[in-house]
Amino acid sequence: MSLRSAILAWPLALMATLAAAPAWAQQGQAQNGSLGQGAEQGASGTQRSERVIQPYIEASQVISAQLSPGDDVLTFTTVAVGVDINVQGRNSGAAISLRYERNIGYDNNSVDTDTISGVARGTLALIPNALSFEAGALASRTRVDAGGGTTVNPLVREDAESRFYSLYAGPSLNTRLGEVDVQGVGRIGYNRFENDALLTNAQGQPVDVFDDSVTYLGQVRAGFRPDTVLPVVGLAVTAGGFQEDIANLDQRVRDLYVRGDVTVPVSPTLALVGGVGYENVEISSRDALRDADGDPVIGNDGRFVTDSSSPRIIAFDVDGLLWDVGVMWRPSSRTSLEARVGERYDSTTYYGTFTYAPSQRSAFALNVYDGVTGFGGLLNNSLAGLSSDFEAIRNPVTGDFGGLVNGSEGQSIIGGLGSVRSAAFRGRGVRASYQRKIGRTTAALGAGYDRRTFSAAPGTVLAPLDGLTDESYYVIAGVDRQIGQNASLSTNAYINWFDGASDGGDVTAIGGSAAYSQSLTRRLTARAALAIDYFDSEFTAEDFAFATALVGLRYDF
């Protein structure tokens, strides 16, 4: 696989920022004893009823030109069918965006592709206001560069396309026994990443990208509020765990914990919080199968073949005390802050959230996170963090779902791929977003930083990755404008930096797009879109620039 064909074509929306809920669900639950009810319960507490089911069909003509370093031009036809569903009730709700797309090329078979993309998230009340069942699913496509990182390129071709899938399901409990609040959550998930060709780095060595994993999460919490059972203070006890079984080299991430938390109000809007407990965190794996020369065996899919007879080797092991202290500030229903500092994973940890929504037309959110997981756990936790009431945002040129949604709780995102290496990691970072609606115009701005430090067992084929760090920075801005009753204009721009420390390579991606839609009849809409993307990577000797244009029709049934 050439470096050029290995450049990632991850839709620009996925480089946006998380706003509504933390991606590291197990970390937030383990440290602050909260289930993150806004994310976990989703639509179960909504009071409105809504039913929107919108199937559609699209036909478009696309032309894509390479501006640098070559001048290749591709022309192809796209035919797509899809459905957008949003059904909300008093205690249940679901949102689905599903699309099948067929690209038909001319004299270039590499453009002939079939793609299924979409996202679904639902909550079903089994016992109203007490017990619910939740599920979610995700499908999208991407490319990866030679360092295993993700960035932007609008050209997705059959010889380099990669796909990833994620789904989860499980019950959620939120009830009260006298003065004691009881909350619980259980989830099982599956995640898969497929790439069509062998991925190698600048030295020609294989990059072991993620294959698939199964995740398990469970937690129960019981506690009472201040001035109920006891004067002044509130107490809670939380126990739970997270595990991810990664197929690559039989890796396993396990995080078990039990803790107690205390809340001490110092004013009607401010409280001091703190917690202490016990954690047992372990990352382990087996080695790759070796040939007669001692070299690792690589399968047809480009991944290392696991030696199932080799012993399990510990890559990361923490067994002992965890603690944190902080503040909660809630001066109104529109403003909320929680910030904590403490010790977790045998080192200092910082995390917290801040949300500010001065009106229904504007919202700001900030999330600082810290957690141990694998690539699949990141996808599952991000998916579970979505509300059950959202509208998926798709690339105006390719139609891909890039992970960004708008919902009743503001902007949110499914993950942020960053790196698709198979090795488990500790991820720390910050994400922020601001959204504002002014008349017929909606504007959004997001930014973030993600740092992943990998853990790999000594003596195994992944050992060189142990302790190394990949970093990502990203900024995205977008504006949507309704023009009259029958037309709309949307624009966006992005910039993303990816630093793969282990390969010594930096990747920078910059670009933007504009799309115009005009209603011809009540159901028929004409569409036109233009995108320009620039890519600079140390893995390639030259920079790449592309321009892509689309004209087409959409019919809503």
* pLDDT tens digits, one per residue of 331-378: 999 999 999 999 999 999 999 999 999 888 888 989 999 999 999 998
- Give 183-214 as a 3 state SS string: EEEEEEEEEEEEECCCCECCCCCECCECCEEE
Query: For position 413, what pLDDT does the model report?
Result: 56
Query: For position 164, what pLDDT does the model report?
Result: 85
Rounded-to-integer distance, Cα 431 and Cα 341, Å: 18
Res 249 pLDDT > 70: yes
Per the omega criterion (within 30 degrees of 0), is the bond before 69 cis? yes
How would you classify the pairing of strands 212-224 and 180-195?
A: antiparallel
The residue with greater pLDDT, 413 or 131, is 131
Max CA separation in the chain (angstroms) = 77
Query: For residue 141, what is the enclosing H or E element?
Result: strand 131-142
Res 146 pLDDT > 60: no
Task: Report if residue 352 sits inside a domain.
Answer: no
Rounded-to-integer distance, Cα 155 and Cα 556, Å: 27
Query: For residue 74, what is the enclosing H or E element?
Result: strand 73-88
Q: Which of 350-354, 381-385, 450-454 has the lowest mean pLDDT?
A: 381-385
Q: How many C-alpha atoms does 65 have within 13 Å on its Cβ side?
A: 7
Task: Report if residue 356 sits inside a domain.
Answer: no
Task: Report if residue 251 sits inside a domain.
Answer: yes
Query: For position 42, what pLDDT does the model report?
Result: 36
Copy the structure tokens of residue 124: 């079903």
Task: Report if residue 357 sits inside a domain.
Answer: no
Query: For position 414, what pLDDT does the model report?
Result: 59
Q: Cβ distance 383 to 250 under 8 Å?
A: no
Exposed e or buried b per residue across 13-27, where buried means at least 16 C-beta atoms within 10 angstroms of its C-beta: bbbbbbbbbbbbbbb
Q: Cβ distance 345 to 356 under 8 Å?
A: no
Rounded-to-integer distance, Cα 247 and Cα 289, Å: 14
Query: For position 554, what pLDDT does the model report?
Result: 95
Phi-psi group of 345: left, alpha or beta (phi > 0 → left; psi -120 to 50 → alpha; rest → beta): left
Mean residue pLDDT of the chain comes to: 82
pLDDT (mean) for 54-64: 93
Query: For position 79, what pLDDT does the model report?
Result: 94
Rounded-to-integer distance, Cα 11 and Cα 530, Å: 14
The residue with greater pLDDT, 191 or 407, is 191
Rounded-to-integer distance, Cα 460 and Cα 234, Å: 47
What do you get for the CA distance between the two ends of the chain, in Å?
43
The residue with greater pLDDT, 228 or 199, is 228
Dihedral sign, Cα of residue 405, residue 411, residue 412, residue 416: positive
Helix, coil or strand: residue 197: coil
Rounded-to-integer distance, Cα 480 and Cα 488, Å: 7
The residue with greater pLDDT, 256 or 299, is 256
Query: For position 23, what pLDDT does the model report?
Result: 33
Rounded-to-integer distance, Cα 14 and Cα 412, Å: 10
Burial of residue 70 (CB within 10 Å: 0-12, 13-18, 19+) is exposed
325 contact partners, CB below 8 Å, separation of at least 6: 272, 273, 274, 340, 341, 342
Copy the structure tokens of residue 459: 């003596």
Q: How many C-alpha atoms does 50 have within 13 Å on its Cβ side?
A: 17
Phi-psi group of 254: left, alpha or beta (phi > 0 → left; psi -120 to 50 → alpha; rest → beta): beta
Rounded-to-integer distance, Cα 414 and Cα 403, Å: 5
Task: Report if residue 359 sits inside a domain.
Answer: no
Q: How many domains does the chain have?
A: 1
Task: Report if residue 340 sits inside a domain.
Answer: no
Per-residue pLDDT band for 396 (boundaries 50, 70, 90) equals: confident
Question: Which residue has 């689905």 as its token pair?
Answer: 96
Domain that holds residue 300: 4-329+370-450+458-556
Per-residue pLDDT band for 281 (boundaries 50, 70, 90) equals: very high
Query: For position 189, what pLDDT does the model report?
Result: 96
Rounded-to-integer distance, Cα 312 and Cα 254, Å: 14
* pLDDT tens digits, one per residue of 7-55: 333 333 333 323 333 333 334 433 443 333 333 333 333 445 678 899 9
pLDDT (mean) for 470-482: 87
Query: For position 154, what pLDDT does the model report?
Result: 41
* pLDDT tens digits, one per residue of 155-174: 444 445 678 899 999 999 99
Nearest by Cα to 132 from 147, 121, 119: 121
Nearest by Cα to 122 from 97, 99, 98, 95: 95
Copy the structure tokens of residue 521: 């009849």
The DSSP-derived string for 345-367 is: TTEEEEEEEEEEEEETTEEEEEE
pLDDT (mean) for 206-221: 91
The residue with greater pLDDT, 260 or 298, is 260
In the chain, the percentage of residues whose pLDDT exceeds 70 is 80
Task: Report if residue 534 sits inside a domain.
Answer: yes
Rounded-to-integer distance, Cα 413 and Cα 420, Å: 17
Rounded-to-integer distance, Cα 87 and Cα 479, Å: 27
pLDDT (mean) for 398-417: 62
Q: Cβ distance 401 to 394 under 8 Å?
A: yes
Res 487 pLDDT > 90: yes
The residue with greater pLDDT, 147 or 400, is 400
* pLDDT tens digits, one per residue of 319-334: 999 999 999 999 999 9
Query: For position 49, what pLDDT does the model report?
Result: 65
Res 78 pLDDT > 70: yes
Res 418 pLDDT > 80: no
Q: Which of 94-103, 253-262, 542-551 has the lowest mean pLDDT?
A: 542-551
Rounded-to-integer distance, Cα 262 and Cα 303, Å: 47
Res 1 pLDDT > 60: no
Burial of residue 267 (CB within 10 Å: 0-12, 13-18, 19+) is exposed
Copy the structure tokens of residue 380: 């599952």
Q: Which of 80-84, 182-186, 538-542 has the lowest mean pLDDT?
A: 538-542
204 contact partners, CB below 8 Å, separation of at least 6: none
Task: Report if residue 29 sits inside a domain.
Answer: yes
pLDDT (mean) for 209-215: 93
Per-residue pLDDT band for 199 (boundaries 50, 70, 90) equals: low
* pLDDT tens digits, one per residue of 490-505: 888 888 888 876 555 6
pLDDT (mean) for 400-409: 65
